[in-house]
Amino acid sequence: MSTNFLVVVTGAPASGKTKIAEKLSEDFKIPLVRKDEFKELLFDSLGWSDREWSRKLGATTYRLMFNEIGRNLDAGRSLIIEANFEPEENNKTFQELQEKYDLPIFQIHCHAPLSVLSKRFRERVETGSRHPGHVDESNYKIFDDPNLLKDFATLSVKGEVVEVDSTEDFNNYYPEIKEKLTRFKTGSL
């Protein structure tokens, strides 16, 4: 196994990705690259307005993220990355990374029923906990789309995949993720 690896935390909006990624980064002392951090820096620098602008900055955010990932992999560093990656858009990029770096990938795919995701998303909007540039209040309708979960399905990359039903309590599923990542790191998984 190569000395560096990539932990990819992905899934639909409001599926619990950030909490898992932040806790893994803290526990394993592995740098975390989060899509929303890049996007929010762009909002702060360039401003925000509507959903179309947010989506445009989102596309730029992925380019910045993958550039940062490549720079870290070139330096031999492992990373945790977190975003709502779409297989149709991102499979090829991850496959290219795997080939270029002989890169093991540990994928954590977060999911929950649409009704749960929608409720969490609305609660998040109501608390005002996210940057206003995301214009989340204009995104409620995405949870009416029955294809949403398919759009944010598991990526088709070689490696370990852990499916997380985030309707369960975090303290119930996190220890298993941590234990599997420990085994993955040591090559015993």
Spatial strand order in the sheet of 160-165: 32-34, 79-82, 6-11, 105-111, 160-165
In tens, the pLDDT along 60-103 reads: 999 999 999 999 999 999 999 999 999 999 999 999 999 999 99
Per-residue model confidence (pLDDT) at position 1:
42
- For residues 23 and 80, the answer to whether their CB atoms sit within 8 Å is no
Domains of the chain: 6-186 (3.40.50.300)
pLDDT per residue over 10-61, tens digit each? 999 999 999 999 999 999 999 999 999 999 999 999 999 988 998 899 999 9
User: Residue 178: which H helix or E strand, with range?
Assistant: helix 170-186
- Look at residue 129 and tell me whether its pLDDT is greater than 90: no
Buried b (16+ CB within 10 A) or exposed e, 39-52: bbebbeeeebeeee
Residue 134 CB: number of other CB atoms within 10 A? 21
* Helix, strand, or coil (residue 105): strand
What are the helix (H) ranges across 29-165?
35-46, 51-74, 87-101, 114-127, 148-151
Mean of pLDDT values over 95-116 = 95
Inter-CA distances, 88 with 30, 31, 63, 152, 155, Å: 27, 26, 16, 9, 9
